[in-house]
Amino acid sequence: MNKDVVILAIETSCDETSAAVVKNGREVLSNIISSQIDIHTKFGGVVPEVASRKHIEVIDGVVKEALEEANMTFDNIDAIGVTYGPGLVGALLVGLQYGKGLSYALNKPLIGVNHIEGHISANFIEHKELEPPFICLVVSGGHTFIVYVKDHGDYEIIGQTRDDAAGEAYDKIARALGLGYPGGPKIDKLAKEGNEDAIKFPRANFHDDSLDFSFSGVKSSVLNYLNKMEMKGEEVIKADVAASFQKAVVGVLTDNVIKTCKLKKVDKIAIAGGVAANSALRESLIKEGEKIGVKVLFPPLVLCTDNAAMIGSAAYFQYIKGNTSSLDLNAKPNLKLGER
């Protein structure tokens, strides 16, 4: 395809209202993110109804700002890409209905994008030379997957969590330690001051050669430790708890991803999702990857958390394959990776 393809992308799957203009799947002309963190912090987590209402309030302004920053008008746009799942159904509907309205009014193709596929595609923006096949670790507050990326839009899930997502466990432990929300960055920061070997928390290993994860055990173990210390009236060294918890989580993530690389005989790992910003995870994967000659790639921090640029990248690769969506597309809060 010789002509440049410009995608206007919209992302509202959780608590970030974002719009972006992306050219040819890899060049970000604008990426506007309106965060709701300050609003949800006082509740200790995301309140779905509050998130939906805030999306409604700001989405129009966010889209206009994205076009202005990219020095574009609707006439310059080739297609509308929008997240339709997975995520919070009310939040998804705000962005999806807005995108469908634009598609109809402008007579531009609509491309429904899987949010997880968007996270994977964030690596195509940062690493212009990256092409499948590679292994991607998608790890966030709602998702934990090891994915074998065979081609654009063609995925094989090698491992996934059987209970809590890694980021969800981070948030719950941060709350128990009184660190506040969001928990991931706060635990990562505090862990640097602690002794990661102070407390031995468990790592789930399955006996069926599965590369799946389970984080409910380590979460429960940390909560039980905190309860016991409180009952005995002993001081809790929060930095040690944070460091020991993080070591357990990062250890099993790293082990399973490295095993997958050996299994699939690939030499590239990409990390995606909010927890991809975690410094301990990055350091661990780079260290273990070097031992077996595997290169570890990760997006910049702004592309780790929810944003529309990654949705624009994923939409582009669908567009050039001729995959577009009809205007009866509905939000799918439990959408699976690879499902169309």
Instruction: Specify whether 91 is located in the same domain as 227.
Output: no
pLDDT computed for residue 87 by the predictor: 92
Domain of 26, in residue numbers: 6-121+304-319
Note the Cα 142 to chain centre separation in Å. 8
Instruction: Specify whether 104 is located in the same domain as 178.
Output: no
Q: Chain-wide mean pLDDT for the chain?
A: 92
Picking from 266, 269, 307, the residue whose alpha carbon sits closest to that of residue 286 is 269
Picking from 104, 109, 60, the residue whose alpha carbon sits closest to that of residue 80 is 109
Picking from 288, 326, 308, the residue whose alpha carbon sits closest to that of residue 13 is 308
Lowest pLDDT segment from 7-21, 30-44, 61-75, 319-333: 30-44
Average of per-residue pLDDT across 223-246: 95
Per cent of the chain over pLDDT 70 is 99
CA distance 282 to 243: 15
Retrieve residue 70's tokens. Answer: 């990219």
Picking from 13, 8, 125, 112, the residue whose alpha carbon sits closest to that of residue 70 is 8
* Beta strands 6-11; 79-85: pairing state: parallel
How many domains in the chain?
Answer: 2
Picking from 147, 117, 138, 126, the residue whose alpha carbon sits closest to that of residue 321 is 117
pLDDT computed for residue 208 by the predictor: 73
Look up the CATH number of the domain holding residue 25: 3.30.420.40
CA distance 329 to 154: 21
Average of per-residue pLDDT across 230-250: 95
142 domain residue, yes or no: yes
DSSP state for residue 323 in the 8-state scheme = -
pLDDT at 1 over 60: no
Q: Which one-letter amino acid corresponds to residue 38? A: D
Instruction: Specify whether 108 is located in the same domain as 183.
Output: no
335 domain residue, yes or no: no
Instruction: Specify whether 147 is located in the same domain as 284.
Output: yes
Tell me how many degrees the CA angle 65-184-260 measures, rounded to the nearest 5.
Answer: 100
Q: Which one-letter amino acid corresponds to residue 333? A: P
pLDDT computed for residue 180 by the predictor: 84
C-alpha distance from residue 54 to each of 22, 44, 227 (Å): 24, 17, 37
pLDDT computed for residue 2 by the predictor: 65
331 domain residue, yes or no: no
CA distance 305 to 303: 6
